[in-house]
Amino acid sequence: MVCLDTTFLIDLFRKNTAAMDALKKFVDKHETLSVTVMTIAELYHGAFKSKKVDVEITKIKEIIERFLVFEMNIHSAEKYGEIRAILEKKGVKVADRDILIGAISISHGDTTIITRNKQDFEKLPGITTLSY
C-alpha cells in the first residue's frame, strides 16, 4: 500500500509529469493506494480558497471515490501522540498535519507515503517516504 500525500495529489491536479508517471507505476503494479482524511481536509481548504471552488471540489470527490480513504480513529490518535512525543524529545519539529497523516496511515497498516514533502515525512518513525 502507498498513501498519497497532499503535495502528490496537488501535483496530479496540476498534471505534473513526475507525479503522473509515479501514479502510473503504482497502477501498473496494482498497488493499493490510499489517502487520509487529513489530506482530504487539506485539499478542501485549498479548494475553498481557489477561484474555481466547484471544479476543485469535483476533483476531491473523484479522489474520495477512487482511493481508499483512511479515517482518524482511536488507534491513529494514539499513534499521533506517540510520534509527536518522540519527535519532541528529539527536538524535531514537524507540522501537526503531517504527523496526523503519518499516524493515520500507520494505524491503518500503510507505512509508505509518496510526497514532495519528503524532508518532513522522513522524520516520522515508522514511515517510508517516496518522492518523485
Question: Residue 3: what pLDDT?
Answer: 97
CATH number of domain containing 7: 3.40.50.1010
Return d(Cα 92, Cα 120) in angstroms, integer: 10
Distance of CA 15 to the CA centre of its chain: 18
> Count of domains in the chain?
1
CB atoms within 10 A of CB 59: 15
Burial class (CB in 10 A: 0-12, 13-18, 19+), 46: middle
Q: What is the pTM of this model?
A: 0.91
C-alpha neighbours within 13 Å on the C-beta side of residue 13:
19
Q: Where are the beta strands (DSSP E) in 61-111?
A: 68-70
pLDDT tier, 98 (very low <50, low <70, confident <90, very high otherwise): very high
Q: Domain limits at 101?
A: 2-130
Segment 48-79, tens digit of pLDDT: 999 999 999 999 999 999 999 999 999 999 99
What contacts 29, CB < 8 A, 6 or more positions away?
none
CB atoms within 10 A of CB 76: 23
Segment 4-61, tens digit of pLDDT: 999 999 999 999 999 999 999 999 999 999 999 999 999 999 999 999 999 999 999 9
Question: Residue 39: what pLDDT?
Answer: 97
